[in-house]
Amino acid sequence: MTAIPSVLITGASTGIGAAYAERFARRGHDLVLVARDKARMEALAARLREESGVAIDIIQADLTRADELARVETRLRDDRRIGILVNNAGASVGGSFIEQTTDDVARIVALNTTALLRLASAVAPRFAQAGEGAIINIGSVVGLAPEFGMTVYGATKAFVLFLSQGLSLELTPRGVYVQAVLPAATRTEIWERSGTDVNTLPAVMEVDELVDAALVGFDRRESVTIPPLPDAGQWDALQAARQVMIPGFAQVHAAERYRTAA
């Protein structure tokens, strides 16, 4: 791995992915941009090459297609210059669960979970062998709050959080850093694509502020970064409460409350 590793970013043509590309280019990292929209990536790459002088490769890929996803996996396995993966590509779909088609929700799961998982799986063994590297997984606070009513999208983001936490426990001792970033509503095209007018939402963070905050967490080596959360102690308290329950899970018999008739 090079002294300044290359960064592969999915969903890199616009929004959060494009902002990560800008920030890492300014830090002197060469980039591999992955998205469906080749024209947008080419325009972004041309600007960043001129501004920062970094090398930028483009992979046009629909990560819900197995053959195109496999090309990105191969790049991650074989290109030892890549030392940071930003798993950003994601999508949502409008409507309630019973209004969404089965095909639509299956595509959301394929992009938000399967593609993210396969890319992490492709690169993690190489990182672990090298004893260095970083994986940034973009989740969402929706994965913590079924009350928001985005059932399938929230479920995929809960998966991202759990996977990231599990990988962090497994890979940190091997020298690999894993960060889950949990944005709240952020001004990206995901809203328009899912049929939602972003201007109707009560509080929306700008992309640049979100990514800058996420990179503060990255530099601090936080395992979970929640840019909109004012009180970090609330997250710490949630984690502490969860950990208190863990010893109670290993029991031979059902809890007393389930062995007593109502």
pLDDT tens-digit series, residues 139-170 = 999 999 999 888 999 999 999 999 999 999 99
Rounded distance, CA 227 to CA 239, Å?
Answer: 17
**Catalytic option among 20, 153, 177, 258:** 153
Of the candidates 117, 165, 143, 119, the residue with the CA atom closest to the CA atom of residue 8? 119
Strands annotated E in the chain: 6-10, 31-35, 56-60, 82-87, 134-138, 177-181, 224-225
Rounded distance, CA 79 to CA 66, Å?
Answer: 20
| 33 inside domain | yes
What integer is the mean pLDDT of 67-76? 98
| 255 inside domain | no
Residue 110: both structure tokens together: 């394929």
pLDDT at 92: 86
Question: Residue 100 maps to which CATH number?
Answer: 3.40.50.720
pLDDT at 262: 61
What integer is the mean pLDDT of 161-182? 98
pLDDT at 197: 65
Q: What is the value of pTM for the model shown?
A: 0.93
**Residue 72's domain spans which residues?**
6-231
Largest CA distance in the chain: 73
| 172 inside domain | yes
| 252 inside domain | no
Task: Decide if pLDDT at 59 tops 60.
Answer: yes
| 243 inside domain | no
The DSSP code sequence of 148-163 is GS-HHHHHHHHHHHHH
What integer is the mean pLDDT of 214-219? 98
Ranking 168-172, 219-223, 256-260 by mean pLDDT, the lowest is: 256-260
pLDDT at 132: 98
pLDDT at 149: 86
What integer is the mean pLDDT of 252-256? 93
Rounded distance, CA 138 to CA 112, Å?
Answer: 9
| 118 inside domain | yes
Total residues found in the chain within this entry: 262
**Buried b / exposed e along 42-55 (16+ C-beta atoms within 10 A):** eebbeebeeebebe
User: Cβ-count burial of 24 within 10 angstroms (0-12 exposed, 13-18 middle, 19+ buried)?
Assistant: buried
Of the candidates 136, 213, 211, the residue with the CA atom closest to the CA atom of residue 167? 136
Residue 29: both structure tokens together: 């990292």
Q: Report residue 200's pLDDT band, with 50, 70 and 90 as the boundaries.
A: confident
Q: Is 153 a catalytic residue?
A: yes
| 258 inside domain | no
- For residue 98, the tally of other CB atoms under 10 A from its CB is 6
Rounded distance, CA 61 to CA 70, Å?
Answer: 10
Task: Decide if pLDDT at 1 tops 60.
Answer: no
- Rg of the chain over Cα atoms, rounded to whole angstroms, equals 19
Domain count, the chain: 1
| 141 inside domain | yes
